[in-house]
C-alpha cells in the first residue's frame, strides 16, 4: 500500500485544500487515536503543539476533537518547537506527540506530523496503518469513554530548561553577542531565553509572530536578514531557526553563512564517531574528508526521518542534512535547531577557535540546486527531452561530479542538483536540465 496523505514529513499542503481542512484534521485525529488503542494503549494521552500560523487554531481544534472522540486524552501546549513537542512527549511519558506545522513553508501552508512515545518520528508502517484507518474514523466512543483536554501552562519553561541542560555546566556563553532569528515561528518565546540564560548577550529578530509572517524574509531559509543584523549589531554569531525550529543556519561576524554540511563535519571532527549519516544531498567533500579521518559515511534518503532511521539501524548518534537538520542522538531524539546551535557554540567556547578557523581544511564542492515547480500532470520520469538531457550531462561529468534528481516530499517541485569541482560547469548543467524539463 502506498501513502496517499503522508509525505516525508507528515501531512502537508495548502490551507483550505484537502487534506489541510478541518474535516480531515478531525478524521486524522480519530484515526490516529484508534490506532493507538488498537495497539493496546487503554486510554492514550496525546500532546498537541503548533507553530504560529493562523491556521493552527483551526487544525488544533479539529485534531483535539478527533482524538477525544476516539477516547484519547489531550494535552495542549500552544506554540512550541517541533523538538519541544518530541521532548515533552517523552518526558511526560505520553503516548503520542502531534505537531501542527509546515516548517519552513509560508503561512498559507500547514501540516501535521507525529512523534512516538519515545520522542522520535514514527515509521512509514505506522503512517500506513493510520491511512488505512481513515475511512472508518467516524462517530465516537461511548460517552463514558470520551477523552478530556487540558493545557500545559509551563511547556515553554520545561523545554527551555531541557535545551540548557544539553550545554556543559562548566561552560558559559558570557562574552558572546548573538543575533537569534526565530523566523516569527514556534521558538519566538523560547530561543532568545535559552541563549540569554546561558550568559550571552542576545539580539532577537523574527520574534514577533502575527499568524501571517512566519518565515517571511527571515529565518533559516532567508538568512540575509540574519547576516544584515549580525553586521549591524557587530555580533559574534547569528543563529537562524526555521518556523518550527528543527533546523539551523549559522552566520559569523564577517557574514559568512555555514550550512548543515559544514556543521555536520565540525561535529564529526570534534566527536570522531565510528560513523556519520548524511543524505543524497550531502556534499561530496564532507564524505571524503570524514573517510580520510577513519569515519564511515552513509547516505540516507533526503529527509531527517530517514537519517534517523539509518542512525538507529546502525547504532550511531550523529547525522544531518545540508538544510540544517542535525541529529545528535546523545542530546535529543530528533533534530533540534536550538540544541544544535548550543553544540556549535560549545565547540567555539571550549576550543577558543572560530568556526571559520575550524573549517579551514574543508573545501566544499560547488553545488547548483534548481527547484522546478511541476505543471499539473507532468510526469518528469517519462519526459523524453529531460531524460536525454540527463543522460548527456551524466556522461559529460562522469567520474568528476554527480547529478541528483528528486521530487520534493512536501510540494509539487522537482529538485535538480548538480555537483562538480567547477562551479560554472555545475550551474550550466543544472540550467540545461531545467530547460529540458520545461521544454
CA distances from 309 to 8, 129, 184, 233, 303 (A): 13, 18, 30, 41, 10
H/E stretch holding 328? strand 326-328
Nearest to 44 by CA among 58, 32, 55: 32
| Inter-residue contact 129 to 114 (CB < 8 Å) | no
Rounded Cα–Cα distance for residues 203 and 184 (Å): 14
Eight-class DSSP state of 318: E
| Inter-residue contact 426 to 419 (CB < 8 Å) | yes
Q: First and final CA of the chain: distance in angstroms?
A: 34
Mention every residue, 6+ apart, whose C-beta is less than 8 A from residue 255.
227, 230, 231
Catalytic residues: 103
| Inter-residue contact 289 to 413 (CB < 8 Å) | no
Question: Based on the number of CB atoms within 10 Å of its own CB, is 379 exposed (0-12), middle (13-18) or buried (19 or more)?
Answer: exposed
CA distances from 46 to 30, 123, 203 (A): 12, 18, 35
Q: How many CB atoms lie within 10 A of CB 249?
A: 26
Amino acid at each position: 500500500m502506498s501513502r496517499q496523505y503522508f509525505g516525508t514529513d507528515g501531512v502537508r499542503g495548502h490551507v483550505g485544500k484537502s487534506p489541510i481542512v478541518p474535516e480531515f484534521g478531525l478524521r486524522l485525529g480519530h484515526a490516529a487515536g484508534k490506532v493507538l488503542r488498537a495497539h493496546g494503549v487503554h486510554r492514550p494521552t496525546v500532546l498537541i503543539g503548533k507553530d504560529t500560523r493562523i491556521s493552527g487554531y483551526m487544525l488544533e481544534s479539529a485534531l483535539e476533537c478527533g482524538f477525544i472522540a476516539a477516547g484519547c486524552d489531550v494535552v495542549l501546549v500552544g506554540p512550541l518547537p517541533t523538538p519541544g513537542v518530541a521532548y515533552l512527549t517523552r518526558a511526560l511519558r505520553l503516548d503520542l506527540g502531534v505537531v501542527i506545522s509546515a516548517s519552513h513553508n509560508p503561512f498559507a501552508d500547514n501540516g501535521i506530523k507525529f512523534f512516538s512515545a519515545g520522542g522520535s518520528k514514527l515509521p512509514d508502517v505506522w503512517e500506513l496503518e493510520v491511512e488505512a484507518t481513515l475511512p472508518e474514523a467516524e462517530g465516537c466512543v461511548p460517552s463514558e469513554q470520551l477523552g478530556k483536554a487540558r493545557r500545559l501552562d509551563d511547556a515553554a519553561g520545561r523545554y527551555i530548561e531541557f535545551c540548557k541542560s544539553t550545554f556543559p555546566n562548566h561552560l558559559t556563553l558570557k562574552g558572546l553577542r548573538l543575533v537569534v532569528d526565530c523566523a516569527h515561528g514556534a521558538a519566538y518565546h523560547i530561543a532568545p531565553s535559552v541563549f540569554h540564560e546561558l550568559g550571552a548577550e542576545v539580539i532577537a529578530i523574527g520574534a514577533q509572530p502575527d499568524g501571517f509572517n512566519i518565515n517571511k524574509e527571515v529565518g533559516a531559509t532567508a538568512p540575509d536578514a540574519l547576516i544584515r543584523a549580525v553586521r549591524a549589531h557587530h555580533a559574534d554569531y547569528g543563529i537562524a531557526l526555521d518556523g518550527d525550529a528543527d533546523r539551523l543556519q549559522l552566520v559569523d561576524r564577517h557574514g559568512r553563512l555555514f550550512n548543515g554540511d559544514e556543521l555536520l563535519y565540525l561535529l564529526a571532527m570534534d566527536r570522531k564517531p565510528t560513523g556519520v549519516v548524511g543524505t543524497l544531498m550531502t556534499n561530496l567533500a564532507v564524505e571524503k574528508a570524514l573517510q580520510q579521518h577513519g569515519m564511515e559515511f552513509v547516505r540516507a534518503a533526503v529527509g531527517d526521518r530517514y537519517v534517523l532511521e539509518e542512525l538507529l539501524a546502525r547504532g550511531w548518534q550523529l547525522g544531518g542534512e545540508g538544510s540544517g537538520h542535525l541529529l545528535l542522538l546523545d542530546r535529543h531524539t530528533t533534530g533540534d535547531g536550538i540544541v544544535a546551535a548550543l553544540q556549535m557554540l560549545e565547540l567555539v567556547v571550549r576550543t577558543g577557535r572560530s568556526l571559520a578557523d575550524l573549517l579551514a581544511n574543508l573545501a566544499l564542492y560547488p553545488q547548483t540546486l534548481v527547484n522546478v515547480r511541476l505543471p499539473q500532470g507532468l510526469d518528469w520520469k517519462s519526459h523524453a527531452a529531460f531524460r536525454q538531457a540527463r543522460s548527456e550531462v551524466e556522461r559529460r561529468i562522469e567520474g568528476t561530479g554527480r547529478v541528483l534528481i528528486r521530487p520534493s516530499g512536501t510540494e509539487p517541485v522537482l529538485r535538480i542538483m548538480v555537483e562538480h569541482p567547477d562551479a560554472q560547469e555545475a550551474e550550466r548543467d543544472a540550467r540545461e536540465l531545467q530547460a529540458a524539463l520545461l521544454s
